[in-house]
Amino acid sequence: MMESVPIVKELLLVGGGHSHALVLRRWGMRPVPGVRLTLVNPDAVAPYSGMLPGHLAGHYTRAALDIDLVRLARFAGARFIPGRVVALDPAARVARLGSGRQLRYDIASLDIGITADMTALRGFAEHGIPAKPLDRFAARWAEMAAGSGPVRISVIGGGVAGAEIAMACAHRLSVEGRDRAITLIDRGRVLASVARAARGHLLRALSGWGVEIVENDPPVEVLADAVLLESGRRIAADITIGAAGATPQRWLGETGLDTHEGFVVVDQHLRSTSHPTLYAAGDCAHFAPDPRPKAGVYAVRAAPVLAHNLAADLTGRQRRAFRPQRDFLKLISMGGKTAVAEKAGFALAGPWLWRWKDRIDARFMETLRDLPAMPPPSVPANAATGVARAMAGPAPCGGCGAKLGAGALSEVIAGLAGAARADTERLPGDDAAIIRVGEARQVISTDHLRAFALDPALVARVAAIHALGDVWAMGAAPQSAVANVILPRMEPRLQGAWLDEVMGAAHEVFAAVGASVLGGHSSTGTELTVGFTVTGLLEREPVTLSGGRAGDVLILTKPIGSGVILAGEMQGRAEGADVLACWEAMSTPQGDAAAILAPLAHAMTDVTGFGLAGHLWNICAASGTGAEVALDAVPLLRGAEALAERGVRSTLESQNRAALEPVMAAPEGPRADLLFDPQTAGGLLAAVDAGEADALLAQLAEAGIPAARIGHLTDRAGHIELV
């Protein structure tokens, strides 16, 4: 019997900086069995700062800068948690997110970068914008660059970063034909840290772009339309950009770690000098053996040593020392496609140097985007005929994509002989049943999910919402839940932490809708599976599948496409931002939508494993109607149609399509394909009176629910038409 490797260690990467991105790639090539790797970062992507000036100048799109951390995490077999760490207890080995969620670890590493947020400068927080972190700055610049008319820009900080930003902005506005006034402000001497020869090239370039230089005059206040200097001078500005130095994340100073001016002090192995279970790299670290300036080149050079030492601590091997170079080639953009190169005090400038820099940046990004295809698992020796063929196929999907085909279980149950009770009722086509206890009526349903992601808390939250779908669809009020959890093999000391994550996330969902978690059962297996048996109380007649009438309008409360996106994420083909949007949609409860629709719906169901088309057919079959669906009106999750067009499919899609071939002819094309895509924790599909539809859609919109009118029921029983 083949056994999975038990999990015995937890490795936590905080931040998606350049060092950690490269660590993830290396880990994917050579993982350490028995370790759960976790990456926490606020966003799905991390921008590559080396290409920022080129983006500001218009040479690169915003997307060209993005390192897709979700894709890298999947390649590395790591769980990705969107969030920001705001506190760390290195003695207890616990990191706390802004959401309040706590993550335990055996070994952790920090690569959270720096900020240019000038908290000490009066008015900057309200009216200025720091150049780092990049996302907010890039969005603000895109908004300004897309405008018209003259622009006044002040850049605070006359180092290399400030000079590059000033010249990039000048180039972009020049190309747009807009008048501009750009001022580079420094409390001391502009470009003081740059070698004399390179400084000369840069000063001439700044002058050529018409950038005014203000030296030895510190800013004292930032206003909505100006910067006030110590001399009393007022510099008009429509946007004030902060590029003055490197400021550490403030929470680092509250951790008890050894710090130097707010940066984590690390030794020759990149370990904290005060807490050896914690590493740090990139701009957030202070390398005590040989302090170096804040530069991305050191983060990139540190990555192999960091990856080796993390693995060494987890496996008991020898660590390696990091030896940063004393000097390195500096390539500095000068607005247009030209650059200056400096090393050891010598400098050259010209367009060919920009092209050289562009090739270096492109190779770095390609390293993190062109991830090698991992070989399929090897076929065991002496395996039965057919095993190799089965293992050669795509990996089975998680979520509802792992379900069996339509009718597989119901047909078996229908053939079972057993006692029939008068106080139970199973409604044709519905997944839930009704139990009568005296005068009270309970809805009962059960569902579970094979993990679609590597984060147990996310899987548990979605599984809880998914299980409640049948209760909401029948118009019942959630009452109770019982959990069934299968954990992968792991050390006993980790089991409690994993169960805490699972049940904590589930409790939040059930408590928010007034349901009690009564208990459950847990066991170990080959992979994470989470499910719940739920009950709900009926205070009115249940909304079933069989009440639909010809002419009823069909309302869908969530976009579809989760099956394709989850399959694409497993294959490393989905965009990270699209994956996070999909997770967010699946994590959105449908109780508010049910409360609006149930009192007036003639028929209603939740859209899950059999896809929108399959669940619509269940309404039609039970109600004796047909349906007409406006294909262009069906809302889709971002990125789903593009993946479907590239041939990405959930493993259940073909069975869903085959089951409906007798009743509908689907046109060719990715949008039509998505009608058969299995949904996990999908929306509600309701058939409502045509006269009530507009008012219901307005109520749903007011409640923040992205519902859509997608078609109507017809009198052509047994037929679904797409228009």
Q: Tell me which residues are annotated as active site.
A: 400
The rounded distance, in Å, linking the Cα atoms of 276 and 288 is 14
Q: Provide the token pair at 554.
A: 């069909």
- What is residue 182's DSSP assignment? E
The order of strands in the sheet holding 440-450 is 424-426, 433-437, 440-450, 529-537, 477-488, 516-525
Strand, helix or coil at 105?
Answer: coil
Q: How many helices (H) and strands (E) does the chain have?
A: 21, 36
Strand, helix or coil at 628?
Answer: strand
Phi, psi of 426 (to 5 degrees): -105, 120
Please name which of 175, 173, 116, 179 lies closest in space to residue 141, comparing C-alpha atoms: 173
Please name which of 704, 707, 585, 568 lies closest in space to residue 639, comparing C-alpha atoms: 568
CA torsion sign for 712, 717, 718, 723 is negative
Quickly list DSSP for 243-267. Answer: -SS-B--GGGGGS---EETTEEEE-
* Other C-beta atoms lying within 10 Å of the C-beta of residue 325: 11
| Type of residue found at 212 | E
Considering only the C-alpha atoms of the chain, give the largest distance between any 2 of them, rounded to a whole number of Å: 93
- What is residue 718's DSSP assignment? T
The rounded distance, in Å, linking the Cα atoms of 645 and 670 is 5
The rounded distance, in Å, linking the Cα atoms of 499 and 62 is 40
- What is residue 626's DSSP assignment? E
Cis amide linkage into residue 599, ω under 30° from 0: no
Cα–Cα separations (whole angstroms), residue 385 to 380, 392, 461: 11, 13, 40
Cα–Cα separations (whole angstroms), residue 294 to 61, 242, 281, 283, 286: 25, 16, 11, 5, 9
Please name which of 85, 49, 110 lies closest in space to residue 285, comparing C-alpha atoms: 110
Please name which of 140, 181, 187 lies closest in space to residue 159, comparing C-alpha atoms: 187
At which residue do the structure tokens 């590559």 appear?
A: 48
The rounded distance, in Å, linking the Cα atoms of 182 and 144 is 14
